[in-house]
Amino acid sequence: MKKRILLSTTLCYLIAAAAMAADAPGSTPASSLQSPGGGKISGAAVVPENISGATVTAPDTYTIEGLYKNSAELNKKKVVVHGQAVKVTPGIMGKTWTHIQDGTGDKNKGTHDVICISAIYTAAVGEMVTVTGTVVFNPEKRYKLVIEDATIK
């Protein structure tokens, strides 16, 4: 368990360092490093997950902007998104709501932030996280797009 936590923490720091390096003067801006295919970062990856040696296909990884652009198609599908926890509110309907941002999307349109709802997982504000969960898109609600049953690492 400690090795898994250490690995997750190290990975978050590496992602943050790479993002800061990409924004350094004379380097390629982070916004130009995003994929032109609607925000999808990579396809499904095969990851060894269970003890029996079988492999499990991981869900697709998206930017927050990509989630909004493809929200109708991604509704009720499992996705992965990386970002920084910018607001954490526990105790809403017995769950914790964590807002994450990754530098993509449009603040004026409200497509720069996604809420990840979890009954057991949480993050600290400022922490780099990887969220896996199910997209719920409902254009009639105040929060049009959320990630439910979120696993936050």
Give the three-class secondary structure for 141. coil
The residue among 14 and 64 whose pLDDT is bigger is 64
Looking at the chain, the whole-number percentage of residues with pLDDT higher than 90 is 45
Question: Is a pLDDT exceeding 90 seen at residue 8?
Answer: no
Least confident of 59-63, 67-71, 96-100, 123-127: 59-63
**What values do phi and psi take at 89, rounded to 5?**
-125, 105
Query: 33-88 pLDDT, tens per residue?
Result: 333 344 544 433 333 333 444 444 456 889 999 999 998 999 999 999 999 999 99
Give the mean model confidence (pLDDT) for residues 91-106. 93
Q: What is the pLDDT of residue 15?
A: 52
Ranges of each domain in the chain: 1-33, 36-152
Exposure b/e, 75-104, CB count within 10 A at least 16 = b = eeeebbbbbbbeebeeeeeebbbbbbbbbb
Give the whole-angstrom CA distance, residue 12 versus residue 25.
22
Q: What is the average pLDDT score of the chain?
A: 73
Q: What is the pLDDT of residue 141?
A: 83
Query: 102-118 pLDDT, tens per residue?
Result: 999 999 998 999 999 99
Distances (CA, A) of 53 to 7, 56, 109: 21, 10, 45
**Tokens representing residue 136 in the block:** 């719920």
- Chain position carrying tokens 């652009």: 69
The fold of the 36-152 domain, in CATH, is OB fold (Dihydrolipoamide Acetyltransferase, E2P) (2.40.50)
- Max alpha carbon distance in the chain (Å)? 48
